[in-house]
Amino acid sequence: VTSTLLSYHSWIFESHGKMSFSTKIWLSLVKLLSGRRPLLYSFQASLPRLPVPSIDDTIRRYLESVRPLLDDEQYKQMETVANDFKKDPAPKFQKHLKLKSWWATNYVSDWWEEYIYLRGRDPIMVNSNFYTMAARTGNVVHAMLQYRRKLERGELTPLRALGIVPMCSFQYERMFNTTRIPGIETDFVQHLKDRKHLVVYHRGRFFKVWLYYGGRHLWPSELELQFQRILDDKSEPQPGELKLPSLTAGNRVPWARARLKYFTEGINQASLEAIETAAFFLTLDDEAHGYDPENIRSLDLYAKSLLHGKCYDRWFDKSFTLIVYKNGKIGVNTEHSWADSPIIGHMWEYVLATDCFQLGYTAEGHCKGDINKSLLIIGYKPHIFTYNPSAIMCLYIDKGEFCLTYESSMTRMFREGRTETVRSCTCESTAFVRAMEDESTTNEQRLALFKKAADKHQNMYRLAMTGAGIDRHLFCLYIVSKVMGIDSPFLKQVLSEPWRLSTSQTPQQQLNLIDIQKFPKYVGAGGGFGPVADDGYGVSYIIVGENLITFHISSKFSSPETDSFRFGQNIRQAMLDIRALFNLKEKKM
């Protein structure tokens, strides 16, 4: 498959269920040239480079995106600033971006990782990291090792749109054996080859657990024995050991300085090296969490624990921390710089399916298999709810006003592509919301506005996925302006605008692993993240089959304007209102 062939994107703009003759020919060619059983990285060299949009298109789409948020005078002022930028210095910045796009694998991704993640000096605990949930435990570490082996051998099936069009697999490479290392001005991501141990944290003590014996992975039963020995260990933490992980939860500069001052020799250096070179970090939590139908806030507490715990019982710099609660529930907290949520979600789906349907348990509830007893151990206010809608989803702002809204889209049809922003608050969507609140508007008018808003949203998503988004282009133009030392009032204003509603979807990627209809209890609840703005919301959602959507909603205690539970109820009511709208249409038909 060639990059020229994979640069064809007309298929994504075609109406659902309708496929042009040229797209059918193109799909046949891609399928023919892809081979019968491609490996995870088979398509990497063939993926096209992310194109640089034109200045005219980006500014036109930007102005369109802010129109519903500004009054006439504010919009006119923004239009003037934008048009001045378009004349000069935009062409100079664009020229540099074009040059970079020719020699760099991806003109956005390296700057995005560096400036959005690694150069941020604020804590990564809530501001960057995100978490993932499931409802089973036991064989998880062994399943993760199986996944890592498949990953290293490239044996995982590559993700492909329509089952044919390949997505970039670059982000998978740093899932394991990876740590974010703090620095004074910027952090860096340390990725190592096959690591043979993990580090376990339990009641303030650190334990080094070997994952191999005689050249093979430990069996689930052998891992269970290791972890049980740790749980049975009654020793007290060493001085300074209990809250050591809190260094990774705070501001980056103090952590970087402490690392240079206290962790460059002796036992401190050796201990830190064991953590930072581990395959991943495991916390055996002394709390119990999970869904309790008798407690409406049980999922809120579960999410809060996964997002930050006690702030000193997760190693937030590791690529991910696996958390196992004392009642057997599990979850993952993920450092964000190395990858986006669908990547860790892919691994989590594999782990759940392997745990439940392949490894299994004995009648007594233990892991299956023999045990080699000679093995040694070296030693925000989130709100979550689930709801069963009619496959229609609506986000509703509970402040009585509209705001700049961020929705994440992927750009993985391009080499080393990560994400792009879809600006969900449009003239079309605001017109629909106003119509829903206006009692004089008929249901037929509301439905027409809903369809118009949905069509607009879909088109913006398609543009973002095919390299014609707004925000990554503006971000890179801003970086060029800083490098060139040329001040731009337009770019400065654009990048200072707060995202008071930040949303993201966790996709179900491996639908073949679990039959959702037969085994609904084995489906993960997705994951969540902290709000971007101090007075805003972070909303993550996962669509599970045709009958379930789970939302993860976060906001800050420090803001008197936000309330995650209230916002969740507003989303629920908005979805009920939309369902009622369609039910009325069906009755009339």
Round to whole Å and give the CA distance between 275 and 257. 18
Sign of the CA dihedral 249, 538, 189, 355? Answer: positive
Round to whole Å and give the CA distance between 387 and 579. 12
The pair of structure tokens assigned to 295 is: 């407690």
Active-site positions read 336
199 phi and psi angles, rounded to 5 deg: -115, 130
Residues 6+ apart with CB under 8 A from 461: 409, 422
Round to whole Å and give the CA distance between 354 and 140. 8
Please give the helix or strand (H or E) that residue 212 lies within, else none: strand 212-213
Round to whole Å and give the CA distance between 495 and 533. 13
259 half-sphere exposure, CB direction, 13 A CA radius: 21
Distances (CA, A) of 297 to 274, 303, 304, 383, 514: 37, 10, 11, 8, 28
The pair of structure tokens assigned to 116 is: 């959005």
- Residues 345 and 132 sit within 8 Å (Cβ to Cβ): yes
The SS3 call for residue 524 is: coil
Round to whole Å and give the CA distance between 61 and 263. 50
Sign of the CA dihedral 213, 216, 222, 223? Answer: positive
Residues 6+ apart with CB under 8 A from 401: none
The Cβ of residue 207 has, within 10 Å, a number of other Cβ atoms equal to: 21
Alpha helix segments (H runs only) across 386-438: 427-437
Give 112's DSSP letter: I
The pair of structure tokens assigned to 91 is: 């062409």
37 phi and psi angles, rounded to 5 deg: -135, 75
